[in-house]
């Protein structure tokens, strides 16, 4: 089946630094990937839609200059949290559609960011 | 906003069938019903999806009412590993860029 890989699975950084999270589709090409954020005991919140070769589409309230998304190839999208602060600590999850049938989305295992 | 309504939590005894309801009264004719689950600290896992007909796979069965305004996910023989948050989602799904908006889901506790 379709596999989406995220790296790193856990990252701890100091306040003010930037952190990059990678999302890869391992056995299929993904022209579109989605980035979600999840705070403890809450549901997943869609942050942005990442499109290969073009600018990402951000959901209302998500700062595009804070959360930089790059989708440079059909198998890789990256999310960079710039100038991270403790309130950015969260579980970040990406997903992609394989494109068969009803376009089932496959999710990565998630990346837990802790900003000190 | 999510287009579905689910009970916040449910309990089910191990070995019994778990029946998780979902209301999607505003579903459009071209929208599918998808079910995902999220085990603690992991990414969501796809379970099953359907449009009009009932569906079954190795994980679960999906029963969709004739008017498509509600559905039920059935885990036939629940195990402790089925403890998770279950999300019912409606989505067109025709295009790869059709996004998924998550509601609050149902937290299913499987009791030993």
The model's pLDDT over A54-107, given as tens digits with 9 standing for 90+, comes to 889 999 999 999 999 998 888 999 999 999 999 999 999 999 877 555 578 899
For residue range A40-63, list pLDDT tens digits in order. Answer: 999 999 999 988 888 899 999 999
Walk along chain B (112 residues) and give the pLDDT tens digit of each residue.
Answer: 568 999 999 999 999 999 999 999 999 888 899 999 999 889 999 999 999 999 999 999 999 999 999 999 999 999 999 999 999 999 876 666 678 889 999 999 999 9
- Nearest CB to A103; choose among B38, B85, B98: B98
Is the CB of residue B36 less than 8 Å from the CB of residue A104? no
pLDDT at site A30:
85
Contact A44 B46 (CB under 8 A): no
Chain B residue numbers touching A44 (CB-CB < 8 A): 38, 44, 102
How is chain B split among helix, strand and coil, in percent rounded to 5?
5, 45, 50
Q: Count the residues in chain A.
A: 116
The predicted pLDDT at position A101 comes to: 53
C-alpha span between B45 and B54 (Å, rounded): 20
Helix (H, G, I), strand (E, B) or coil at A87: helix
Whether chain A has a CB inside 8 Å of the CB on B52: the answer is: no
For B82-93, b/e burial (b = at least 16 CB within 10 A) is bbbbbbbbbbeb
Residue A35 has pLDDT above 80, yes or no: yes
Distance of CA A38 to the CA centre of its chain: 11
- In B, minimum Cα distance to A44 occurs at B102
Selection from B89, B57, B93 nearest residue B74 by Cα: B57
Mutate to test the interface with A, among B8, B43, B89, B95 (most CBs of A within 10 A): B43
- As a whole number of Å, the end-to-end CA separation of chain A is 37
Q: How far apart are CA A30 and CA A99, in angstroms?
A: 8
Q: Which residues contact B19 (CB under 8 A, 6 or more apart)?
A: B72, B73, B74
């Amino acid at each position: 089946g379709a596999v989406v890989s995220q790296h790193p699975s856990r990252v701890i950084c100091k306040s003010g630094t930037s952190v990059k999270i990678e999302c890869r589709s391992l056995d299929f090409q993904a022209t579109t990937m989605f980035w979600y954020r999840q705070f403890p005991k809450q549901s997943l919140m869609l942050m942005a839609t990442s499109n290969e070769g073009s600018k990402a589409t951000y959901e209302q309230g998500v700062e595009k200059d804070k959360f930089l998304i790059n989708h440079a190839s059909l198998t890789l999208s990256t999310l960079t949290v710039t100038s991270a602060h403790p309130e950015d600590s969260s579980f970040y999850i990406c997903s992609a559609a394989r494109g068969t049938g009803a376009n089932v989305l496959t999710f990565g295992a998630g990346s837990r960011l802790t900003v000190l | 906003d999510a287009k579905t309504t689910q009970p916040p939590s449910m309990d089910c005894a191990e070995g019994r069938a778990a029946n998780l309801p979902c209301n999607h009264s505003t579903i459009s004719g071209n929208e599918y019903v998808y079910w995902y689950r999220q085990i603690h600290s992991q990414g969501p896992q796809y379970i099953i999806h359907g449009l009009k007909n009932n569906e079954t796979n190795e994980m679960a069965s999906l029963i969709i009412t004739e008017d498509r305004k509600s559905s039920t996910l059935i885990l036939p023989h629940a195990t402790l590993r089925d403890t998770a948050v279950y999300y019912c989602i409606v989505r067109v799904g025709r295009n790869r860029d059709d996004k998924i908006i998550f509601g609050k889901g149902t937290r299913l506790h499987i009791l030993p």
